[in-house]
């Protein structure tokens, strides 16, 4: 009896397995040869990803828009939706995903993954971002699941596009225009991101993670704020953390110079100068040289010379420190002494780009002109 019962159990599991195998599908080309595609780009620090299927014109020029793709909302004769928009592609749902909050045609849309639909009209298309991104096409479309609707004007294309595609165009550091292109029509929509606030929010999140256990991360966040003249009070706290003994930046030229930059941006110039002096003993040859160069660009000749002299005293008669002394004396108006150091650096130059720079410096000083 026990053997019979065991056999029945085995046969039952075997039957279930056969059903599963019968329902399994082999990998094959998508229906009607429509290609699967994914495009993804960063807008600011926001990842934008679009997944879709690409139908092709296939000899139907002039019969796509308003015919194959109907105007407005239609009953497709299948599914629960009696007024469905176009699926903005072929086969399964087209979806678009944003890693942060964005603006679509000036309207806010939260970070997330959305089904994407288009209610086509030759004069003004309605673009729909649906909270439902997993249904097949638009057969089960429900307007109450809409997260956002925007209206855009379609644009005639110069040449026909055989396979439907999405492209990122007119890109700036904070925005892009996504274009749905097919046959001789473009349906565009603009994506914008708040780069600064998005970046600050990400910094705050990451500084609480394992990335916050080194001074470099705190310094990076503080420097970003100083360079963009934003969030300066919090940036000073971040700079304090970067220069603390606990986080390892107490003997870093970069950490102290970033703090000085933040203080200067806050209008606390005396504190900035005192903080910068703390940075100088920790500066490398390159760090001191390029700090001196920044001072010459701001027409602070005397201060620049002092930095170049510190660099030279720590690392005498090297290519970069000789070049620095040439720039320092030139900034002070002493072209004769500047020429002496420029010629020393000229003889030490090991590659053509640096040799060319020193050749120009020597010629400029010989002509009695400032090299900075």
Mean pLDDT of the 315-332 span: 95
Q: Residue 182: helix, strand or coil by DSSP? A: strand
Q: What is the pLDDT of residue 280?
A: 96
Architecture category of domain 196-366 in CATH: Alpha Horseshoe (1.25)
Where are the chain's structural domains?
32-193, 196-366
pTM to 2 decimal places: 0.78
DSSP 40-76: EEEETTEEEEEEEEE-B-TT-TTSTBTTTB-SS-B--
Mean pLDDT of the 183-190 span: 98
| Secondary structure E strands in the chain | 35-43, 46-54, 95-98, 102-104, 107-109, 112-119, 125-130, 146-152, 155-169, 175-192
Structure confidence by residue, pLDDT tens digits, 108-123: 999 999 999 999 999 9
Mean pLDDT of the 250-266 span: 97
Task: Give 3-state DSSP helix, strand, coil % of the chain, rounded to 5.
Answer: 45, 25, 30
Q: How far apart are CA 22 and CA 298, in angstroms?
A: 76
Give the closest residue to 44 by CA, choosing from 194, 155, 208, 221.
Answer: 194
Structure confidence by residue, pLDDT tens digits, 327-355: 999 999 999 999 999 999 999 998 999 99
User: In sequence order, what are the residues at sequence separation of 6 or more whose Cβ sits closer than 8 angstroms to the Cβ of residue 325?
Assistant: 308, 309, 312, 338, 341
Q: How far apart are CA 277 and CA 279, in angstroms?
A: 5
Contact indicator for 176, 169 with CB cutoff of 8 Å? yes
């Amino acid at each position: 009896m026990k053997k019979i019962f065991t056999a029945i159990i085995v046969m039952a599991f075997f039957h279930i397995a056969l059903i599963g195998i019968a329902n399994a599908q082999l990998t094959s080309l998508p229906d009607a040869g429509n290609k699967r595609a994914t495009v993804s780009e960063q807008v600011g620090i926001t990842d934008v990803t679009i997944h879709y299927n690409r139908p092709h014109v296939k000899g139907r020029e002039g019969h796509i828009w308003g015919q194959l793709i109907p105007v407005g909302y239609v009953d497709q004769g299948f599914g629960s939706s009696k007024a469905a928009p176009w699926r903005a592609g072929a086969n399964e749902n087209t979806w678009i995903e944003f890693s942060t909050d964005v603006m679509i045609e000036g309207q806010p849309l939260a970070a997330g993954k959305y089904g994407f639909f288009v209610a086509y009209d030759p004069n003004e298309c309605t673009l729909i971002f649906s909270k439902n991104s997993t249904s097949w096409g638009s057969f089960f479309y429900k307007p109450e699941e809409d997260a956002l609707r925007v209206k855009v004007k379609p644009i005639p294309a110069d040449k026909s596009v055989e396979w439907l595609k999405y492209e990122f165009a007119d890109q700036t550091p904070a925005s892009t225009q996504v274009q749905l292109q097919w046959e001789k029509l473009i349906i565009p929509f603009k994506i914008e991101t708040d780069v600064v606030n998005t970046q600050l929010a990400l910094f705050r999140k990451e500084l609480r993670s394992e990335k916050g256990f080194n001074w470099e991360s705190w310094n990076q966040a503080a420097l970003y704020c100083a360079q963009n003249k934003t969030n300066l009070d919090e940036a000073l706290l971040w700079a304090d953390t970067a220069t603390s003994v606990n986080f390892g930046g107490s003997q870093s030229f970069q950490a102290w110079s970033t703090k000085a930059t933040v203080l200067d941006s806050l209008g606390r110039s005396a504190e900035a100068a005192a903080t910068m002096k703390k940075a100088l003993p920790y500066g490398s040859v390159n760090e001191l040289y390029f700090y001196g160069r920044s001072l010459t660009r701001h027409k602070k000749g005397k201060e620049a010379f002092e930095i170049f002299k510190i660099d030279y005293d720590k690392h005498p008669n090297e290519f970069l420190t000789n070049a620095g002394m040439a720039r320092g004396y030139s900034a002070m108006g002493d072209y004769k002494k500047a020429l002496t150091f420029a010629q020393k650096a000229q003889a030490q130059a090991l590659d053509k780009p640096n040799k060319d720079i020193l050749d120009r410096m020597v010629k400029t000083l010989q002509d009695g002109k400032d090299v900075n």
